[in-house]
């Protein structure tokens, strides 16, 4: 839920007799007022930026997304849609007269809608039977290229048909059990409403992008012998008319993705993995360029040794901008299309999460800071200028935790970058109960961006710490790959190094230490409490401990076989990595386990097993399963509940305060 934690919060600032009320701390119910900005798109004339804004309906316990627009000078903000079914994927027509979007209003499936920006109601232009994934306007504005999943079997029977499975990779979080339906590209004529098939076969295609002259489309597809057994993807080029045959552009056995045409149509920039391996958990994308006619690609950022994303060409095709993840920051970088040195356009203790080039080669981006949720900014002369102000009143009414970075040393001498949140108003000279909230991934990093969960725990009076343990990105490829086939060893060492640092500095109370996390953060919570008893409370979210039992049960069969080998030939590796469960009798930490009922990513089995192991030994424990939820909890009331339980559990075991709700449920 990394993107969710970057969501924008907005609240009404209450006033009394014209005077602002004193600032207050965050509370879990603030989630109901949470809004998120996404997918900003600049109009062709550069005067407007359209974007999505997601808000929560507490009565219906669901979120809804509408389209908004802000002027380039930030003086005008306009809501464009009000539909209860939500709208997404806003795209400007090439002439800027129309704004398209996708929505399931009036239909069970998502369709493309178009509205005239000069006024009038939006009209539905497609009537698709399959599932729409992506779409893009042709340069002449007469056609769309659509990425559509095959029509599912919708025959109605009283008893559901059995799942008939013969695929190697047969399950995926949210999607569930995987069928043989494929996703293909189609051409849609906006005048005649004719839909033509562009690609066929037992493959999936995505990320379509038109050439500037509208004659060709580049797309991404894995056309290896058995795509289920690897993460390969290549760039393919096809003429934009029915019956055309695709031509393979790249042959790298790892993933090639995110193609972007140069303005003159002669080159295509894209992302290439650093490794040709079949499974890409420990990897980072590099910027590559290949001639549109084919040939040998050039890797431009190999020496950068940092992952890049969100590629965008300048208007003249002379340079390419991108986001760079670098040691707790995500900054905007730029380099000549011919290669050379990466220039940092703008960085600092902040996080950029989207990027496109605006007029006069300015940049438009979503950006957040430690005490400021994400908003849309224009970057001019390396200086961010804020356009949207959806969270301004909220920020002015809440006392946020202060955020600072620090570096700790692990017992083997490794330096680790971390982030510390201190409760608002806390004295730097006072020891406080401290919760280590560990990020998931493992490939990801804690950044100087707004983090709702950590801010919420800090608001309850705790220091909160993020540890960028080995396995995290932002510190180079070798740092990322250091935990290959060795889970729960170096990462736990790095967590304890951060604990030791803060205890020795008099920041963390050694008798009131807690640990928590979700996904791989939950897995590391399990590893940590099985390694040491110094943590007096823990909350393990969507974690696992008996790794042997997950082969064939979760969605990571490729990782298991490529990183660990098959269990019947490498049982010792699986048992070594399963030590939290196999040494559960060593665990003394009161631990709360939480998970989504339908999680196929890290299934509920992992949390259930650890709960049962602790319950069997009468170690204080609890298990919370959120009905109908996948790996990422999405129902607003469940998100509130999860934060309530985090705080309640730590209050009980680190402060000796038991909330009534927790007390009743855990008796």
Residue scoring higher pLDDT (179 or 324):
324
Give the CA count within 13 Å in the CB-facing half-sphere of 571.
Answer: 1
421 to 424, 459, 462: CA distances (angstroms): 9, 10, 8
Sheet of 267-273, strand order:
256-261, 267-273, 285-291, 298-299
Look at the alpha carbons of 300, 304, 305, 311 in this order and tell me if their dihedral is positive or negative.
negative
Fold of domain 400-665:
Rossmann fold (3.40.50)
> What pLDDT, on a 0 to 100 scale, did the predictor assign at position 412?
96
pLDDT for residue 215 = 97
DSSP β-ladder status, 432-438 and 463-467: parallel
pLDDT digits (tens, 9 = 90+) for 93-124: 999 999 999 999 877 889 999 999 877 789 99
Task: Provide CB contacts within 8 A for 578, sequence distance 6+.
Answer: 545, 546, 547, 548, 549
Alpha-carbon distance of 29 to 640, in angstroms, equals: 6
Block residue for tokens 């042959």: 251
pLDDT over 70, % of the chain: 95
Position 525 scores a pLDDT of 98
282-325, pLDDT tens digit by residue? 999 999 999 999 999 999 999 999 999 999 999 999 999 999 99
Does residue 152 register a pLDDT over 80?
no
Higher pLDDT, 395 or 470: 470
Three-class SS state of 458: helix
Helix (H, G, I), strand (E, B) or coil at 583: coil
Task: Say yes or no to pLDDT of 256 above 90.
Answer: yes
pLDDT value of residue 665: 65
Distance CA 591, CA 587 (A): 9
What pLDDT is recorded for position 469?
Answer: 98
Contact predicate 289/300, CB 8 Å: yes
pLDDT in tens, 516-540: 999 999 999 999 999 999 999 999 9
Q: Is the pLDDT of residue 11 over 50?
A: no
pLDDT of residue 161: 86
Half-sphere exposure of 414 (CA within 13 A, CB side): 24
Q: What is the DSSP letter of 561?
A: I
Question: CA nearest 222: which of 198, 199, 206?
Answer: 206
Is residue 51 within 8 Å of residue 24, measured between CB atoms? no
Nearest to 6 by CA among 365, 322, 366: 366
pLDDT at residue 429, as a whole number:
81
What pLDDT, on a 0 to 100 scale, did the predictor assign at position 180? 83
Mean pLDDT of 426-449: 94
255 DSSP assignment: B
Average pLDDT, the chain: 92
What span, in angstroms and rounded, lies between the C-alpha atoms of 360 and 347? 20
pLDDT at position 666 is 58
Q: pTM here?
A: 0.92
What phi and psi, each to the nearest 5 degrees, are found at residue 492? Answer: -65, -40
pLDDT one-digit tens code per residue, 38-70: 999 999 999 999 999 999 988 899 999 999 999
CB 288 within 8 Å of CB 320 = no
To the nearest 10°, the Cα dihedral for 641, 643, 645, 647? -150
- Whether 624 and 638 have beta carbons less than 8 Å apart is answered as no
**pLDDT tens readout for residues 482-496:** 999 999 999 999 999
d(CA 625, CA 170) in angstroms, rounded, equals 24
User: Chain-centre distance of CA 122, in angstroms?
Assistant: 30
Strands 621-626 and 383-386: unpaired
Running DSSP on this structure, what letter comes out for residue 653? I
Angle between helices 452-459 and 636-650 (to 10 degrees): 40
What are the tens digits of pLDDT across the range 379-403?
999 999 999 999 888 888 899 999 9
For residues 416-438, give the mean pLDDT: 94
| pLDDT in the model for residue 662 | 60
Residue 186: Cβ-neighbour burial (10 angstroms; 0-12, 13-18, 19+): buried
Residue 155's pLDDT band (boundaries 50, 70, 90)?
low
DSSP 327: T
Residue with tokens 């946020």: 400
- Map tokens 């950068």 to a residue: 304
The residue among 466 and 82 whose pLDDT is bigger is 466
Rounded Cα–Cα distance for residues 69 and 77 (Å): 6
Give the helix ranges, DSSP H, for 300-436.
Answer: 392-397
Q: How far apart are the first and last CA of the chain?
A: 31
């Amino acid at each position: 839920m990394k993107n969710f934690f970057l969501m924008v919060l907005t609240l009404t600032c209450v006033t009394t007799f014209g005077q602002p009320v004193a600032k207050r701390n965050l509370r879990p119910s603030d989630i109901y007022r949470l809004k998120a900005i996404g997918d900003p798109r600049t109009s062709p004339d550069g005067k407007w930026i359209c974007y999505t804004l997601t808000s929560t309906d507490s009565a219906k316990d669901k979120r809804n997304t509408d389209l908004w627009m802000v002027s380039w000078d930030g003086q005008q903000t306009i809501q464009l849609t009000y539909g209860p079914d939500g709208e997404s994927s806003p795209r400007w027509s090439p002439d800027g007269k129309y704004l398209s979007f996708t929505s399931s209003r009036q239909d069970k499936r998502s369709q493309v809608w178009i509205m005239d920006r000069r006024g009038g109601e939006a009209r539905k232009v497609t009537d698709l039977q399959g599932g729409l994934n992506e779409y893009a306007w042709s340069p002449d504005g007469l056609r769309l290229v659509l990425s559509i999943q095959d029509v599912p079997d919708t025959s109605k029977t009283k008893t559901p048909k059995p799942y008939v499975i013969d695929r190697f990779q047969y399950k995926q979080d949210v999607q569930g059990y995987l069928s043989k339906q494929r996703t293909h590209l189609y051409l849609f004529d906006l005048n005649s409403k004719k839909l033509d098939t562009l690609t066929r076969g037992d493959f999936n295609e995505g990320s379509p992008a038109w050439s500037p002259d509208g004659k060709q489309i580049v797309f991404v597809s894995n056309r290896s012998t058995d795509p289920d057994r690897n993460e390969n993807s290549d760039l393919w080029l096809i003429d934009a008319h029915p019956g055309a045959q695709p031509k393979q552009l790249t042959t790298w056995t790892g993933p090639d993705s995110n193609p972007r045409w140069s303005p003159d149509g002669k080159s295509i920039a894209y992302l290439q993995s650093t490794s040709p391996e079949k499974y890409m958990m420990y990897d980072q994308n590099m910027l590559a360029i290949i001639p549109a006619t084919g040939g040998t690609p050039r890797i431009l950022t190999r020496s950068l040794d940092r992952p890049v994303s969100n590629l965008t060409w300048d208007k003249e095709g002379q340079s390419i901008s991108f986001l760079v993840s670098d040691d707790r920051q995500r900054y905007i970088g730029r380099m000549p299309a011919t290669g050379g040195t990466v220039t940092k356009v703008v960085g600092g203790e902040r996080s950029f999460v989207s990027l496109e080039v605006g007029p006069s080669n300015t940049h438009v981006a979503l950006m957040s800071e430690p005490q400021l949720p994400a908003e849309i900014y224009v970057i001019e002369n390396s200086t961010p200028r804020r356009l949207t102000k959806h969270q301004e009143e909220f920020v002015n009414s809440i006392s946020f935790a202060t955020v600072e970075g620090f570096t700790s040393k692990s017992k083997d001498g490794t330096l680790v970058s971390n982030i510390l949140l201190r409760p608002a108003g806390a004295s730097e000279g006072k020891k406080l109960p401290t919760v280590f909230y560990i990020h998931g991934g493992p490939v990801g990093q804690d950044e100087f961006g707004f983090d709702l969960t950590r801010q919420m725990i800090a608001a309850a009076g705790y220091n909160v710490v993020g540890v960028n343990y080995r396995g995290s990105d932002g510190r180079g490829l070798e740092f990322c790959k250091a935990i290959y086939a060795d889970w729960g060893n170096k990462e736990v060492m790095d967590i304890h190094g951060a604990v030791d640092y803060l205890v020795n500095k008099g920041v963390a109370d050694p008798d009131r230490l807690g640990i928590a996390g979700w996904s791989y953060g939950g897995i590391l919570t399990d590893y940590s409490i099985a390694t040491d008893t110094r943590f007096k409370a823990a909350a393990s979210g969507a974690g696992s401990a008996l790794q042997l039992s997950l082969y064939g049960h979760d969605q990571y069969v490729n990782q298991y076989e490529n990183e660990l080998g098959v269990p019947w030939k490498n049982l010792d590796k699986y048992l070594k990595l399963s030590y939290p469960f196999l040494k559960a009798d060593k665990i003394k930490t009161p631990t709360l386990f939480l998970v989504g009922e339908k999680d196929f990513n890290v299934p509920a089995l992992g949390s259930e097993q650890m709960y049962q192991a602790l319950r069997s030994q009468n170690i204080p424990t609890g298990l919370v399963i959120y009905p109908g939820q996948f790996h990422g909890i999405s129902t607003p009331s469940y998100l509130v509940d999860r934060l309530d339980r985090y705080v309640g559990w730590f209050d009980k075991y680190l402060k000796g305060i038991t909330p009534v709700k927790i007390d009743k449920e855990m008796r």
